[in-house]
Structure 1
Amino acid sequence: MKLKSTLGAAVAAAALTSTPALAQDRTLTISVYAFAQEEFRELVYEPFEEKCGCDLVVETGNSVERMSKIEANRENPVIDMAVMSLHDALSLSRQDLLQKIDTSKLSNHGDLFDVAKDPLGNGEAVGYTLYATSIVYRTDKVEIASWKDLFQDKLKGRVALPDITTNQGARTLWMIGKAIGDEDMSLKAPMELVGENADDIATFYQRSSQLAQLVQQDEVWAAPVGRFAWSRFKDNGLDMTWAEPAEGQFGDMNVMIMPKGIPAENAELALEFMDYWLSPEIQLALAEALIDSPVNKTVEVSAEAAEGLTVGAELIDSLNFMAPEVILDNRDQWLDSWNDTVIQ
């Protein structure tokens, strides 16, 4: 049995021991994020290959590259199953490129949090992980009780915001809008507020690693951060905390999808792999490795791991999720407004 992993143009092969006849007959090609692939290989891919007696071909890349491959091969799909953001999945769905997922063949589907069971509302996606975003800040410098506190005098020149092109960008503006009493999805009011304070914002960051360095250098005291990146800040030796703003935290989700037109036997194997990934054992293993927050509500992670994850029914039910259609329908207008209002 062989596990093939593609990263950009590179292809690496890892030889495994199993029944070669079965492996030759059953091959599943999946498209995933490049993140933590060594851990996924150990915790998910190789154990599944051993269980199913099949080959996994694992292709990675950024979202644009992976979506383009599905789009370009609509007549003869080369990807059997993929994971991506919810709004990217909706983009493919709108092009009639996805098939419905037969959840009756997912034994773990009933144990998922409701928000993950049918996140597109049309049966074409299933959530496999989610995360919260809030504000992390220096407790020895400021207090944060609301998203509008990002604009307090104490933070002038010491606050960072995510760029509009990031997954957190528009959602941060949305939460700021909630805090100032304007939830219009044009995001006009919060964007104008950011524009008025642009000179007092240290940076509009694109990567959490960039932000972590600025915090460590005492240049930034507060910023919105996804829970997946919290570990970069909580152990940096400074007095950092995770805010619980009055308006709440916002959530985001990654989902599993299946392209339309794949062979029936590949679809069956894709469903088997999805169910395996959603099982409490695999969801727990990925959570304890601080890779993904579980959507299987039967999973109980350790207190130590929970510090870096988004876990618990109460928290998940409280998250603000921006509808994926809102993102797709408005992102071009948001970018234009951002350039006109903030980046002048």
Structure 2
Amino acid sequence: MKKLCLAMVLVLMFSFLLMGCTKEEPVKQEEPKSEASNNESVDNKTDEPTEFVVSTWGYNEDKLRKNIFEPFEKANNVKIVLEVGNNADRLNKIRVSENSKIDVIFLANSFAIQGVSEGLFEEINRDNIPNLNQIYDLAKAPLGEKYGPAYTLNRTGIVYDSDMVDKKIESWKDLWNKEFESNASIPEITTTAGPSMVIMAANTVGADALEDSDKAFEALGKLKPNLVKTYGKSSEIVNMFAQGEIAVAAVQDFAFGRIKDAVPTAEWVDPQDGAFANLNTINIVKGTKNKEIAEKFIDWCLSEEVQKANAIDKVDSPVNVNVKLSEEEAEGLTYGKELINSLKVVDWVKVNELKTDWIDRWNREVIN
């Protein structure tokens, strides 16, 4: 009996020992991070680039990325996103959207003036854009001192095919020559260069279209027999020259290179009575959260480095006075103090006041 009791005691002791050896320690749970600590983690990611939205035209994007966008991204830790389209569509987008994410917008001057009148742009601090001091006077404040500059310009002149024309063209008046009956073209009134055609027509008869529209449209009526059609896109004018439909046209200079490629005998003319300046502007969109970056971006676009790179690539004519180009580099560009000072500058404020009436008369008297 004593032996049995001793055996039971030993079994019980051994069981307790086994339980002690296999007992699991409680698992320690990690304390959850507070919402504040999570936010702090996100805020400390200073290497995340700021999204910066640029509204522009869709052409030459590869060259613009090389010359403007990519260097600016690296220098300012931003990621540039492009929204592309024509002037009217892009202006309308910021007009109808109170929450547009667009930070800066490139527009032809005639459309930019509409943006100013409708309060769509932020006022700029010119002290933050020192390169404004390095550009031609006509580009510094085309919309007034409170708004963005012109970062480039081009001109509207005359192009003709020397194989199809008997004598040298020198003046806007030559477009009325009977030699060009059903053999000429001018830009449509709704294009950037269109309104300058109304001004040009008035000038040929010694009138001012802004004061006397009747004289302008009377002259355009006399030009009508020479017009194959009015064109809306530069690709149309290239095709008309290439197919031999026209011998002469009023053209913006950026299209001349493509015409020359298609028709090697094409010649450019700066008329004796003055080519017309077309300014392209850059402005900060109202409500942007990136105004400081936007002013840096404008300054970068006006820099000698960017302006020269775009000129050499035939993207844009330079407005920075320090840009020096060889004769070959300047070919096809609106370049040089003498040429730029000779250009006719359109009063777009007055033109926009008259534009609705001009479009109506154009449709009735010029193209019908």
Length-normalised TM-score, structure 1: 0.88
Q: d(CA) in 2 for partners of 1:113 and 1:30?
A: 24
Match of 2:327 among 303, 311, 327: 303
Letter in 2 for 1:147: W
Match of 1:147 among 164, 172, 176: 172
Q: d(CA) in 1 for partners of 2:319 and 2:336?
A: 9
Q: Deviations over 1:118-152 (max 9, x none)?
A: 11124212110100110111334132222111011
Q: Deviations over 1:94-125 (max 9, x none)?
A: 11222211111112111011111111124212
Q: After superposing the two structures, state which structure 1 stretch, 197-206 or 304-313, moved more.
A: 197-206
The equivalent residue for 1:281 is: 305
The equivalent residue for 1:291 is: 315
The equivalent residue for 2:6 is: none
Match of 2:144 among 118, 121, 130: 121
The alpha carbon displacement at 1:42 in A equals 2.0
The alpha carbon displacement at 1:56 in A equals 1.5
For residues 204-243 of structure 1, the aligned pairs below 5 Å read 204-243=230-269
The equivalent residue for 1:41 is: 65
Q: After superposing the two structures, state which structure 1 stretch, 58-67 or 217-226, moved more.
A: 58-67
Q: d(CA) in 2 for partners of 1:221 and 1:272?
A: 45
> Structure 2: any 5+ residue segments left out of the alignment?
1-43
Length-normalised TM-score, structure 2: 0.82
Question: Quick check: which one's helix share is greater?
Answer: 2
The equivalent residue for 2:122 is: 99
What SS does the corresponding residue of 2:221 show, helix, strand or coil? helix
Aligned residues: 322
> Structure 1: any 5+ residue segments left out of the alignment?
1-19
Point out the structure with max Rg over C-alpha: 2
Q: Which runs of 4+ in 1 moved over 6 A?
A: none
For residues 276 and 23 of structure 1, do their structure 2 counterparts lie closer, same or farther at Cα, with a shift above 3 Å needed?
farther
The equivalent residue for 1:8 is: none
Letter in 2 for 1:170: P
The equivalent residue for 2:198 is: 173
The equivalent residue for 2:220 is: 194
The alpha carbon displacement at 1:246 in A equals 2.3
Q: Deviations over 1:205-249 (max 9, x none)?
A: 222222222222222111111111111233445432222322110
Q: Deviations over 1:141-188 (max 9, x none)?
A: 132222111011111121112121221222022122212211132533
Q: d(CA) in 2 for partners of 1:67 and 1:189?
A: 32
Q: d(CA) in 1 for partners of 2:105 and 2:250?
A: 28
What SS does the corresponding residue of 1:203 show, helix, strand or coil? strand
Match of 1:318 among 342, 345, 364: 342
Query: 2:131 aligned with 1:108, yes or no?
Result: yes
